[in-house]
Chain A
């Protein structure tokens, strides 16, 4: 069972070991439709192959003058209508499977994305994920309809004519059988040449989409730096690579050999049947029938160009989707884990952390926070402050050591229980393109209007929200661009007020608040800290100054810990913060390192 941070209870379990098993476990969910999409083509082709036979009989009727032309024609008609209706039914059945497959795989992909750890998401590019969830899923769609359908058509299109030819004269099977063998060999070689190109094409599409997505998300910088030309070149280059792979695919398709083999086989079948006719083994009507049947064989030969491209597109797309679904994620939701109301005691025990094989971001961090305390974490940019807080709610997992919440290792907590009691207001505030109300109620979808407004009041956000025409129902633009930084942060604060967590992490979050409500916000932050453990990363000296404990980080190590007064006396790093204020600092005491 794969690790995941998120699962859906009654979700259908698919076989994820290998692309084909996975695809089959998806498709086989719709057993009746699968059976229909195999049986109808049999019926279709069986009847379709009867058309030349019945037409031949009609010819006989006219030539010999025996039998009823009316009946012979009726048979031709019945065969045609029956085959047409079967064809239609096949189309509808496969189309239904294809659409099911698309929606199911996308759902499965999305579910797995929600279950992946932050480390995973840091590595993935959004534009590429988008490509996988739309265009690659579309490839699966084509894989089934018409891809798989062409496969049944191909198999039947080979077997049925051979069967009928065998019925007419077994010895006439000689050439067609040789042809089918060479066809299989050359199709396999063709397919193995094509697959790498198609794989590259799918990957290139993902890259092109990522480049585009990035250019659009960063449009303000692009425009301000007048780098539209650079983005154009970058996108153009990626679009051209995609085009080149497409052309390459076309060139491989052009040299598709089986069609030539078919032409040769047709000639030799004709030779053979003429010779048999000379020998008096078969009659003229048989030659017409055999050559008509051979013509049916042309369809599978020809359609393989399409079907192989479609199948391989589907396989390449499935590989890309499955790759994401089965990618290892290191954090599990740990359903059996510890569940309890958090008191708020937080212990860092010799914590070391690094991303991948990079150099350690945090080294041997060791300190304890008592319930209800406010701890300010200070340090130069890049010293590991944000990472430190992200270890608490298991956005990332420690590399060495452990973090204990109320004495229990965070890795032993049920992740839902842990995270629902920890609120994290990040520096990069993300708002959804929805109404302000929905953004505030994000942590608590069933909150009442009163609760939402109260939270907004507490966060000093109520006034500016009310000043908008539509108040709480005001839609926030894409990524919330229509709000200023200060407004965004207050909405995030309101979100945290509503969620009412036991542990609060404020990561630089209120730093850009620029309004005259600074005092009120200070009060609000003071209030939100009440009764909960708070980890504070802030540039606000006033808050650092009055924190219960200050942790000074430098290059991932704790270089000072204590209260403001302690640190002013003991920590050169901490003193540097205050150095620019023209005040007298107490003399620096030489301490033996603890």
Chain B
């Protein structure tokens, strides 16, 4: 079966919990709803007891009528029977009414916790694990967990019921009861054997579901590429493979689960038959009365059901436990970014110091090595250098998206690790390389960093960016729906929205990561003016690609393989004729007019 499981390994943060640990974790969620759950368990039990009372009532009714002969009162047994049936119905009502609340609440809080855990992970987590699979854990696995809650309540009531029934059976006949109980261990052994198989197959099922999720998320997000390159067939074949893998695994799981109950039932059948025969012999011999024997046979049927239920529940339970294990692993995944203290800075000046820092995204691929840099508050600093020289890493470290391995990062002289993360980030405005917009209007998106801002504030800020000219080109102005990921807007428009977003947030430290790079020439000048407004009175770190930006910077840092190889102003560096001059010649010069005129020869 190994080939079916290809590619379905555990994620790095997956772990195995002992049953004891799992129970403890689950109890944490059950505890606040334990009253509800107990009510439900009692209602289930009472419902079953009322159902149990039905054959007793019938036999009592028969006896009664037989005793009284022709003139018997038939209404009484009828009414009693109807009464018992109605009570059963009421208990069923109570049971369902409260169980949906108990289940709904447990799943909700588990889901919220899973979501919170996801939000708390730092970016290295997202680099490593496909988001489609994370999504799967938060919604799909929590959904599967529903079963655990439902089964727990059922199990509880079945255990109560079985104890009552055993008491009753002993009351009717001790020997026959002992024979019945002798069969129980066999059933327990079988169900325990099933448990292990069930857990294994179900874990595979959950994983393959995540795989399907991941595949769909990725291919649907990238469907445009598949279409332009006419590669639908390749994508489809790949999906087919995942889909069929899912089929095979789920079939195994399905067969396992649909076999448990029939097998246990067959075993119970043997037990019943043995009792019918043995009891019949005893009745014939006159050791027990025929009525007793009949009652016992009726009772035994009632006894098997909860017993086989408990046994099969235990396996079904695995379904939810496997899902639970995946959720708890997500909750327990160790964050890399760890804060030592919870200082909430009211204001930040924006003085940034890197001291002998070493940083790597992955072990063995060091990006910054023994890196030191001081950015005084209020300075506009431009980072230039080749791709992979560590520019983005510096900005991401300032935003505390990643943990560094050694050295120090001080903000206003304080260790960045000592801050309360959210309170600190409030002072940082970050415009990312590819601006990400959320489904909603432009206003919603600008307001994203400062939810309490009024619409007027949003309008003012939008006007400040690019002179507000761009708003005119939007179909419904600032109330235009941007679509998922901002798909209804052009890339330039998305960047303008992202800039307005930061401007509204009014941070002490402004980080701009290549953001102006793909804004068209006509908009660029306007953007530049907007940027000048944003950069006033705050520390700005710019990964610049525009000549105009770099010229305006107070200081330029030239990076190469994580090391500062030059620094100064644009003019100083140009005069020096070193690395920056080289970079300028190949990288920024093309934006100057001289270069544009020469480029014709290059392209020809």
Set of chain B residues within 8 Å of A1, measured between Cβ atoms: none
Are the C-beta atoms of A135 and B85 separated by less than 8 Å?
Answer: no
A325 to chain B, nearest CB (A): 14
Q: Is A471 positioned at the interface, with any CB of B under 8 Å from its CB?
A: no
Interface string of A205-231 (1 = CB under 8 A from B): 100111011111111111111111111
Contact with A266, one of B85, B270, B522, B602 (Cβ below 8 angstroms):
B85
Contact with A423, one of B66, B82, B228, B603 (Cβ below 8 angstroms):
B228
A354, closest chain B residue (CB): B475
Q: How far is the CA of A465 from the CA of B132 in the complex (A)?
A: 26
Are the C-beta atoms of B283 and A260 separated by less than 8 Å?
Answer: no
Closest 9 CB pairs of A and B: A263-B85, A250-B100, A381-B492, A224-B430, A542-B599, A91-B258, A88-B262, A382-B473, A267-B82
Set of chain B residues within 8 Å of A305, measured between Cβ atoms: 96
Interface string of A265-299 (1 = CB under 8 A from B): 01110110011011000001001100100010010
Q: Is A20 positioned at the interface, with any CB of B under 8 Å from its CB?
A: no
With A395-B224, A478-B126 given, is the CB distance from A516 to B586 under 8 Å? yes
Q: How far is the CA of A40 from the CA of B485 in the complex (A)?
A: 52
Q: Which of A184-192, A315-323, A400-408, A573-581 makes up part of the contact surface?
A: A573-581
Are the C-beta atoms of A118 and B224 separated by less than 8 Å?
Answer: yes
Are the C-beta atoms of B213 and A511 separated by less than 8 Å?
Answer: no
Q: Is A171 positioned at the interface, with any CB of B under 8 Å from its CB?
A: no
Q: Which of A21-29, A157-165, A338-346, A517-525 makes up part of the contact surface?
A: A517-525
Interface string of B128-164 (1 = CB under 8 A from A): 1111101110111001000000000000000000000
Contact with B484, one of A55, A141, A214, A577 (Cβ below 8 angstroms):
A214
Are the C-beta atoms of B586 and A485 separated by less than 8 Å?
Answer: no
Q: Which of A79-87, A364-372, A450-458, A586-594 makes up part of the contact surface?
A: A79-87
Contact with B231, one of A95, A228, A442, A573 (Cβ below 8 angstroms):
A442
Are the C-beta atoms of A268 and B243 separated by less than 8 Å?
Answer: no
Q: Which of B173-181, B272-280, B406-414 makes up part of the contact surface?
A: B272-280
A508, closest chain B residue (CB): B518
Number of interface residues of A (CB under 8 A): 190
Q: How far is the CA of A393 from the CA of B230 in the complex (A)?
A: 11
Are the C-beta atoms of A59 and B294 separated by less than 8 Å?
Answer: yes
B439, closest chain A residue (CB): A214
Are the C-beta atoms of B247 and A102 separated by less than 8 Å?
Answer: yes
Are the C-beta atoms of A223 and B220 separated by less than 8 Å?
Answer: no
Q: Is A169 positioned at the interface, with any CB of B under 8 Å from its CB?
A: no
16 pairs of residues in contact across A and B, judged by CB atoms under 8 Å: A59-B293, A76-B272, A98-B254, A99-B247, A135-B140, A213-B217, A216-B126, A227-B451, A235-B115, A250-B96, A259-B92, A284-B66, A381-B523, A518-B586, A518-B587, A545-B600
Number of interface residues of B (CB under 8 A): 186
With A77-B269, A127-B135 given, is the CB distance from A260 to B522 under 8 Å? no
B526, closest chain A residue (CB): A380
Are the C-beta atoms of A251 and B272 separated by less than 8 Å?
Answer: no
Q: How far is the CA of A216 from the CA of B590 in the complex (A)?
A: 38
Q: Is B489 positioned at the interface, with any CB of A under 8 Å from its CB?
A: yes
Q: How far is the CA of A260 from the CA of B100 in the complex (A)?
A: 20
Interface of B is mostly: helix
Q: Is B34 positioned at the interface, with any CB of A under 8 Å from its CB?
A: no
Are the C-beta atoms of A125 and B243 separated by less than 8 Å?
Answer: no
Contact with A485, one of B216, B297, B364, B433 (Cβ below 8 angstroms):
B433
With A220-B401, A485-B433 given, is the CB distance from A542 to B596 under 8 Å? yes
With A432-B218, A499-B229 given, is the CB distance from A239 to B108 under 8 Å? yes
Are the C-beta atoms of B236 and A382 separated by less than 8 Å?
Answer: no
With A214-B484, A223-B123, A250-B97 given, is the CB distance from A382 to B220 under 8 Å? no
Are the C-beta atoms of B602 and A380 separated by less than 8 Å?
Answer: no
Contact with A73, one of B61, B86, B261, B277 (Cβ below 8 angstroms):
B277
With A274-B65, A432-B222, A478-B127 given, is the CB distance from A69 to B277 under 8 Å? yes
Are the C-beta atoms of B284 and A129 separated by less than 8 Å?
Answer: no
Q: Which of B1-9, B21-29, B371-379, B421-429 makes up part of the contact surface?
A: B421-429
Set of chain B residues within 8 Å of A110, measured between Cβ atoms: 216, 236, 239, 243
Set of chain A residues within 8 Å of B388, measured between Cβ atoms: 464, 467, 484, 487
A349 to chain B, nearest CB (A): 23
